[in-house]
Amino acid sequence: MGTQVIMPQLGESVVEGKVSRWLKQIGDLVKLYEPLLEVETDKVTTEVTAAGEGTLLKLYANEGDVVKAGTLIAFIGAAGEIDPHLGLRTDPHPGPLPTMEREEAPRGNGSSARISPVVARIASDHHVDLALVPGTGEGGRVTKKDILAYLEKTEQSGLPRPQVGDIRAAPAEVPLEAWEQPGLGELFRPTEEVFGKAAPASPNPIAPVAAPAAMPGEVLPLNSMRKAIADHMVMSKRTSPHVTTVFEVDLSKVLAHRNQHKAAFERDGANLTFTLYFAMATIAALKKYPLVNSSWNESGIVLHRTVNLGIAVSLGEDGLIVPVIKNADSLNLLGLARTINDLADRARRKQLKPDEVQGGTFTITNHGISGSLFATPIINQPQCGILGVGMIQKRVVVVTQNDVDAIAIRPMVYLGLTFDHRILDGDSADNFVAAIKQMLERWA
């Protein structure tokens, strides 16, 4: 028995996803849990793995289609196997077809991949040759209304109904879960309602050709991530009165601690990055000044009970994504290090789930990775503020010991807090950053 591939619900509030790229094509061998396709939801691209193994026989969704969760999108089985829930042959490389199948088989349907599961089930139950049913749908496609009218007409005529020789009623099986049953309800709607207008399927899919490099004056189309970033940034600037305050921090104690404990963390499977120290100090400051861990509401200021810390991860030219560490204030240094490493790694490999980029209460962005000293980042709505971390740079500074000033070289960094002036005033914002500075400079 083959395996139906169903569009999963990738998050608690995610009801649909866009098929961005098929990683397998019709006729390819598929192993269990092997990545099958990439699905976009908002700014997240997630790989969907195969729940069975065999040959990819059918694709019911094209790249670019927006598909509701619970919808059939592909079928995996043995070559020549019939999908028992659709009653249609699924051989990707069929031999010569019988005359009845070859005559006008594409008429009205284009291909069996463009027949809705509801129509296919009715055809299977009544042994109807769909090539003989006049289609009134998009491009002559046979709809549910068409096949029901055809059945009524043939029953009234009293004449024997032509049947397809290779379609048989599916044997009795163990009942599937409700969301996998291609019944007559709304879960599996006609293909044209789910996917919109689809291009005719090709028996030999052509591999996508890489887009040429942009030329001067050329308009680059927006991908879904870039559009989401643009919309969110414009909305944020319109929503909050942005103000930025900048502090300079001496990281001598942090650097000493990192050099002393880096090997031990590696033995425990964690990378001791500087981001970890900024995150830990920020969490402590958020607990000390809970007003920063809040959101604006027209009824009042919403104070969040826990710290859900977002850490921005650059995806290069693909854009920026902000994985969220839920309940970050409950983690120790090692636990936080492992979580940051894991989220950053999966973000770059496009394996985050939509829920893992939602629900943040405060964000850190490390713009210093590219050499920037300080910046004025835009608030990640509906949060109160965002902390920008500049490049760590050895600089000549004046240090005071025993009331004596001296010139010294220290690893320094600029921390810039952009905050919502509706919630925080300059004094409360400065106190928050000062708490981060104090913890970093006194790290033990």
pLDDT at 155: 75
Instruction: Spell 340-368 as b/e; 16+ CB within 10 A means b.
Output: bbebbebbeebbbbbebbbebbbbbbbbb
pLDDT at 187: 35
Of the residues 65, 127, 425, 427, only one is catalytic, namely 425
Q: How far apart are CA 365 and CA 391, in angstroms?
A: 12
Residues 82-132 have pLDDT tens digits of 665 554 444 333 333 333 333 333 333 333 334 554 666 677 667 777 778
Identify whether the C-beta of residue 373 lies closer than 8 Å to the C-beta of residue 393: yes
Total-model pTM:
0.60
Of the residues 127, 421, 427, 430, only one is catalytic, namely 421
Could you give phi then psi for residue 392, rounded to 5 degrees?
-75, 125
pLDDT at 104: 33
Please report the domains of the chain, with CATH numbers, ordered by start residue.
3-195 (2.40.50.100), 224-441 (3.30.559.10)
Packed helices 274-288 and 333-348: angle between N→C axes, nearest 10 degrees = 120
Q: Which two tokens stand for residue 404?
A: 């004596």
Query: Which H or E run contains 232?
Result: helix 224-239
- The answer to whether 250 is a known catalytic residue is no
DSSP β-bridge partners for residue 49: 35
> Which is nearest to 90 in space by CA: 175, 178, 166?
166
Q: Which two tokens stand for residue 14?
A: 């995610």
Q: How far apart are CA 286 and CA 303, in angstroms?
A: 11
User: pLDDT tens track of the chain, all 444 residues?
Assistant: 688 899 888 776 677 888 988 999 999 999 988 889 988 876 677 888 888 889 999 999 999 888 888 899 999 988 767 665 554 444 333 333 333 333 333 333 333 334 554 666 677 667 777 778 888 775 676 777 788 888 878 777 666 666 554 433 334 444 444 333 343 333 333 434 433 444 445 555 555 555 556 567 788 888 777 888 888 899 999 999 999 999 999 999 999 999 999 999 999 999 999 999 999 999 999 999 999 999 999 899 999 999 999 999 988 877 788 999 999 999 999 999 999 999 999 888 888 888 899 899 999 999 998 899 989 999 999 999 999 999 999 999 999 988 999 999 999 999 999 999 999 999 999 999 999 999 999 998
Query: Which H or E run contains 338?
Result: helix 333-348
Q: Which two tokens stand for residue 118?
A: 């509801």
Place of tokens 């005719």: 200
Specify the pairing of strand 82-83 against strand 88-89.
Answer: antiparallel
Q: How far apart are CA 154 and CA 160, in angstroms?
A: 8
Distance of CA 30 to the CA centre of its chain: 22
Q: How far apart are CA 42 and CA 357, in angstroms?
A: 10
Contacts of 350 by beta carbon, 8 Å cutoff, 6+ apart? 38, 44, 45, 46, 47
Residues 237-272 have pLDDT tens digits of 999 999 999 999 999 999 999 999 999 999 999 999
> Which is nearest to 142 in space by CA: 112, 169, 167, 162?
112
Identify whether the C-beta of residue 295 lies closer than 8 Å to the C-beta of residue 384: yes
Helix (H, G, I), strand (E, B) or coil at 407: strand
Q: How far apart are CA 385 and CA 379, in angstroms?
A: 6
- The answer to whether 65 is a known catalytic residue is no
